[in-house]
Structure 1
Amino acid sequence: MPSAWSGMNWIAGGAGAAVLLPLLAVGVGMPFWAAGLISVVAGGGVVALLAPRKMFEGLDNSGAARGKIEFARELLTGAEPLAIRLEVAVSTIQTKKVAERVRHLARTSREIFAGIEEDPLRVDRVRRFLTYYLPRAADLAEAYAVLEKSGNRDTTRLVSTSDLIDRLDTAFTHYATNLQEADLDNLDIELKLLKSSLDEDLGTSALPAPSDPSKRRA
């Protein structure tokens, strides 16, 4: 997922190469061309090591799943800046209770993102969250911070905005739970398949209880 650190790998790689070059050429006395080559290779290694992970890499994106994965990638790419806005808003809101609520919104958003990255085929369960509730939450959090700093403090609007943030928190929790229930649905399917296989191989009648070893010795 794109993040606020996107591009930092190139900065870190360049800085590492810039530091390593004089150390090798001057400090160690290595020929400049050799020091330059090693610095470039080392810097490239840092770039590769810190390169942002491509979303959903390693997943099978063939067939019908491909469109769903691309759709999930598009939604998460658009949602990432919104989560960052929530995280930034936390530090700008003066009212502790509201700031904590916004912090919980941001944390729940990250949990939902992680769930979709784990299984993008579940994205339909949180589509409305990503496209409607999350953008509105970012707008309201920033609006609350602006209202707090306004010279003409509008108490009515502050209370109304705070109430909506509370209700959004309930909605966020609902969608996070809805995503977790998808895992339980998958577990139910696995249990049914396992039971069906056992019934087919062993029969549906109860298995005899294992005998007591102490009675056999007697």
Structure 2
Amino acid sequence: MSGPALRSRGTPADVWAGLAGGLFAPVATFGLGLPLWASLPGAILVFAGARLALGPRDLLAGLDEAALSLAHDVIAAAQADLVRLKVAAQGIRNPAVRRHLDHQGAVAERVVAEVARRPGRLTPVRRLLTYYLPASVRLGEGYRTLERTNRPDAARLAATAGMIEQLDSVFASHADRLSAPEIEGLDVELKLLSDAIRTDERGIGAAPEATPWR
């Protein structure tokens, strides 16, 4: 690799971000009482957010300060929501509901990591991180509270569980928007190759030049 990617290695931002991420896991585990499986992914997200906040400007060419600030704020809020979501899921007895919440957390973690790496991709997944992720947190915490009541409301539990399950597909479809540029590029490549093959088979002139999409 060369260019900006090489220049971004080994910078003070990397060092401070690494320290922040490294400190998060023990502080969250021993200070806040979070389980290790919850604190380790959180440490990765803290590193990604700190790396963005501390100035990977070479990776952010073309983005103005307002866009960078927005990406930083969205990532910070999403990191806090992910921690709450993990805690809520851990306290839920229903294994199916817990599994759905864990899946939503895993999808959101991948999205946050990608946005931290490439803040310009925030727009297609902003609604996922600012609306659906907090909604998943509220549903998870609400379901946990319902389970712990002396007389759990079966109808409310079922309705909440159904919405949590429905959010699984919502998370997946929004996260897939990050891959849209690559998929569109693949469609272009397939069309160019198909045209080239047809032209070669007919023996008519030279094949059209393929435009690199990667």
2:22 and 2:115 mapped to 1: Cα distance?
Answer: 24
Could you tell me how far apart the structure 2 residues matched to 1:117 and 1:205 are?
Answer: 44
Give the root-mean-square deviation of aligned CA atoms: 3.4
Match runs of 1:83-102 below 5 Å: 83-102=82-101
Equivalent residue for 1:8?
Answer: 23
- Whether 1:205 and 2:206 are equivalent positions in the alignment is yes
Q: Distance in 2 between matches of 1:105 and 1:206?
A: 46
- Which consecutive unaligned segments of at least 5 residues does structure 2 have? 1-16, 28-45, 194-204, 209-214
Q: Deviations over 1:57-93 (max 9, x none)?
A: 2534355444323221111111111011111122100
Q: Partners of 2:58 and 2:183 in 1: how far apart? A: 21
**Larger deviation, residues 71-80 vs 52-61:** 52-61
Structure 1: 5+ residue stretches without partners: 13-50, 196-203, 208-218
Distance 1:117 1:188 in 2: 27
| Separation in structure 1 between the aligned mates of residue 146 and residue 161 of structure 2, nearest angstrom | 11
| Alignment-derived partner of residue 51 in structure 2 | 54
Contact 1:65 1:121 in 2 (8 A): no
Query: Structure 1 137/69 Cα, relative in aligned 2: closer, same or farther at 3 Å?
Result: same
SS of 2:85 mapped into structure 1: helix
| Amino acid of the structure 2 residue aligned with 1:205 | A
Q: Quote the sequence identity (%).
A: 27
CA displacement, residues 35-66 of structure 1 (integer Å, 9 cap, x when unaligned): xxxxxxxxxxxxxxxx9442262534355444
Is 1:156 matched up with 2:155? yes
Residue range with higher mean Cα deviation, 60-69 or 149-158: 60-69
State the match for 1:113 in structure 2. 112
Cα distance in 2 between the residues matched to 1:111 and 1:170: 15
Q: Find the counterpart in structure 2 of residue 42 from structure 1.
A: none
* Counterpart-to-counterpart distance in 2, 1:205 and 1:186: 22
Q: Hey, what's the Cα distance between the residues in 2 that align with 1:115 and 1:63?
A: 17
Aligned equivalent of 1:15: none
Q: Which residue pairs with 2:13 in the alignment?
A: none
Q: Cα deviation per residue 1:185-206 (whole Å; 9 max; x = unaligned)?
A: 35667x59x99xxxxxxxx614
3-state secondary structure, aligned to 2:51: coil
Residue 181 of structure 1, CA deviation: 1.7
Count of matched residue positions in the alignment of Structure 1 and Structure 2: 158
Q: How does 1:134-173 map to 2 (within 5 A)?
A: 134-173=133-172
Contact 2:115 2:122 in 1 (8 A): yes
Contact 1:79 1:130 in 2 (8 A): yes
SS of match in other structure, 1:152: coil
TM-score of the aligned structures, taking structure 1 as reference length: 0.61
Amino acid at match of 1:93: I
Which residue of 1 is the match for residue 127 of structure 2? 128
Instruction: Provide the secondary structure at the position in 1 that maps to 2:58.
Output: coil
Amino acid at match of 1:74: D
- Measured after TM superposition, the shift of residue 152 of structure 1 is 1.1
Aligned residue type for 2:114: G
For residue 8 of structure 1, report the CA deviation from its aligned partner: 2.3
TM-score (normalised: structure 2): 0.62
